[in-house]
Amino acid sequence: MLVFNASAAETKQSDTSKLIVAVAEAGGELRGIPFTDVVKATTGKRILAFDRKNDADRELLAKIGSALDQVIIRMNATNSVAQKQRRINEVSSHFEDEMKRVLNDVAGFSCDFPHLASGKVQRSGYPDLRLVDKKSGRIIYLDPKLYEDGSRGSSFRTFYFEPKTDTNKILDDAHHLIVGFAHDGRKSGQWKFLSWELVDLSQFKVRLKAEFQGSNRDLYQDAAVVGSSRK
């Protein structure tokens, strides 16, 4: 009996073709992908859901919420570092710093910037903070987002995740929370932060927008140029 075994190259070609067709048929964008699946596939780690009917979960969320109340009070102070910034994009990192300080002041909490597998601390990329509840050993990844009041329903991209092994900061099975802070757009001449929201990413769905691209280095390879007036 003749048995045909596809080579690795043929299998890869087949997988590539299937992916291109799937993306093309979806209009260049894949929607409704569970973020839990993305994290599991790229990091091997699970996103744990919060259960608001569970007493321990409610207590943990309440402690985080009380800390966020304090963060808003501090950032609204006239002498806060946030008030010295003209653009909201310049305020984000200061929220991360303030959240880290306030959460570390909460009894039983330990908060720091996430480390890479190499041990290096990296500020850029998702997630921004890693919180440990010492009593239970539970880990919560936190990522603050600032948005102008009234734009909560905007379709503008505000979240992104790049699955890169060398810059991966998700090293634990953990809860994942987005912390949304609403602000008034600096209408009075200073920033006024109005409220906060905690979003559990265990039910979050993302989309992948595909774009085939190349650089000049990719284009103008000696082996590919078939004519030129260059000397």
Confidence of residue 157 (pLDDT cuts 50, 70, 90): confident
Decide yes or no: CATH 3.40.600 for domain 38-206. yes
**Lowest-confidence region among 1-5, 104-108, 171-175:** 1-5
Q: Stretch 130-155: mean pLDDT, rounded?
A: 93
113 by Cβ neighbours in 10 Å (0-12 / 13-18 / 19+) ranks as middle
Q: What pLDDT, on the 0 to 100 scale, is given for residue 191?
A: 95
In the chain, what are the domain boundaries? 38-206
What average pLDDT does the segment 147-159 reach?
Answer: 85
pTM for this prediction: 0.84
Residues near 28 by beta carbon (within 8 Å), at least 6 away in sequence: 209, 210, 211
Nearest Cα residue to 68 out of 182, 191, 158, 179: 179
Q: Which residues pair with 109 in a beta bridge?
A: 133
Looking at the DSSP assignment, which residues form a beta bridge with residue 230? Answer: none
CB 116 within 8 A of CB 126: no
Residues of the chain above pLDDT 90, percent? 60
210 Cβ contact list (under 8 Å, min separation 6): 23, 28, 29, 30
| For range 112-119, the mean pLDDT | 91
